[in-house]
Chain A
Amino acid sequence: IVMTQSPATLSVSPGERATLSCRASQSILRNLTWYQQRPGRSPRLLIYDASTRATGIPARFSGSGSGTEFTLAISSLQSEDFAAYYCQQYNNWPLSFGQGTRLEI
């Protein structure tokens, strides 16, 4: 399954809202995770099952969607949110990531 993220780069100001998109080449139901990766760091799980926040993830992160279209929304951006974001499907083997969205100030 091919995962396509858009846009590749998103420029947003602190305090504003960001919306990131992820599209699957075929239905993956709600079997989708979102990861955040800050520069020089390991990825961190944000969202699983398309909309469930992982432990310790702030409420300003929200996931939605099903089937082939998914969205990660980040409200009121903080400085630490400027990072790369990846979606991954786990409905079919082999698992696959999107190419990522870089969120920049």
Chain B
Amino acid sequence: QVQLVESGGGVVQPGRSLRLSCAASGFSFSDYGMHWVRQAPGKGLEWVAVVWNDGSLKYYADSVEGRFIISRDNSNNTLYLQMNSLRVEDTAMYYCETEGGDWGQGTLVTVSS
């Protein structure tokens, strides 16, 4: 079955960088677009970014455009989110999601001085 395992979260100071990973298994990863979605503590869902199955196209939420970079390695079935210039308001649980609607368990990012 589909399995998505996020990692790379942690506590980081404002202005610093962090890279999240999402290891995928149980499906043909290179056939699916992939999303990152985040959820601040006690808040709703916020879509972050998408990458096409072949990596050819990417879109971002306005709130992260120019700071975050989504990428993927189809040879290793892994999705990434490079987060730069982090802000306190980026504090959230970060989920990866397949375009088919399967979700990982999330990885928590806390931006705090």
Contact = CB atoms under 8 A, between A and B. Distances in A.
B103 A44 contact: yes
B47 interface: yes
Interface string A31-74: 00101010000111100100000100000000000000000000
Interface in A65-88: 84, 86, 88
A27 interface: no
B73 to A, nearest CB: 23
B44 A42 contact: no
Contacts of A97: 44-47
Interface residues of A, number: 20
Interface stretch (B7-15, B23-31, B59-67): B59-67
A86 B105 contact: no
B55 interface: no
A35 B45 contact: yes
A54 B101 contact: yes
Contact of B50 (A44, A48, A95): A95
B68 to A, nearest CB: 12
A98 B44 contact: yes
Interface of A: 33, 35, 37, 42-45, 48, 54, 84, 86, 88, 93-100
Given A42-B105, A43-B97, A88-B47, 14 more contacts: A42-B104, A45-B101, A48-B101, A54-B101, A84-B44, A86-B44, A88-B45, A93-B59, A94-B60, A94-B62, A95-B50, A95-B59, A97-B44, A97-B47
